[in-house]
Amino acid sequence: MSEKPSVLVTGASTGIGAVYAERFAQRGHDLVLVARNVERLEALAARLRNETGVEVEVLPGDLTNERDVARIEQRLGEDRRIGVLVNNAGTSIPRGFLQQRNDDISKLIALNITAVTRLAHAAAPGFAERGEGAIINIASVVGLAPEMGATVYGATKAFVLFLSQGLNVELAPKGVYVQAVLPAATRTEIWDHTGVDVDTLAGVMEVGDLVDAALVGYDRRELVTIPPLPDADQWNALDVARQAMLPNFAQSLPAERYRSAA
């Protein structure tokens, strides 16, 4: 067993999650890998054990299933070896809001919001008690861009960003690091879920490049990491503008512009 904290990665069978598993294994961390596809998980685990010598446990689970979520929560709450949670599991759904089905929307919210929140909530108390640990939440630039048209998916990713910012306010003073990673278009299987041919898109980032950039942000202890954004000052300016509004929210009367019908 490694002396470094173990890392639990959700959605680890492919794409971003699989590369996070590989990178943390290369850094000498033992792993707990969560995903639905047991065959892929076992193949990845065997390869990483062979290549890096770390311990890799496969923990199959469907994070839209209540029993599976509860089982992963229990593991996060009880296993003190786990010191990093990579909340990566997520999906998207095809078509626009008017054409999407209620069942698909519910599953999207269950995976992209409910599971992310509950797993973070399961890990956080132990991390805070020990005064160390990290929660990495995979959000998306779509959460900043309603103009992109992925209304429900974008809303779930906006939630993940806000959740990460709020967790940082609560947990950073207790020694727990929280990072929100905001990819743009990345070459993963999520495009198969939306019916989009990724090869028709411009500016698609390879998964390895995305995760390596995110880990630079992780090592720097950034709260928000946006790998495709060339100018970090743009994000910083947005965040400064947001914070500048906060003192103005505490008003006993509506703003002057709302006191007249004109």
- Which residues are part of the catalytic machinery? 153
Alpha-carbon separation of residue 51 from 13, 46, 65, 248 (angstroms): 17, 9, 32, 55
Give buried/exposed letters for 191-200 (b at 16+ CB in 10 A, else e). beeeeeeeee
Calculate the alpha carbon distances from 63 to 40, 56, 105, 132, 180 in Å. 17, 20, 15, 25, 20
> Is the distance from CB of 58 to CB of 42 less than 8 angstroms?
yes
Q: Is 10:35 a contact under the CB 8 Å cutoff?
A: yes
Inter-residue contact 124 to 76 (CB < 8 Å): no
92-95 CB contacts, 8 Å cutoff, 24+ apart: 92/150, 92/153, 92/190, 92/193, 92/194, 93/152, 93/153, 93/193, 93/194, 94/193, 94/194, 94/195
| CB-CB contact of 138 with 87 (8 Å) | yes
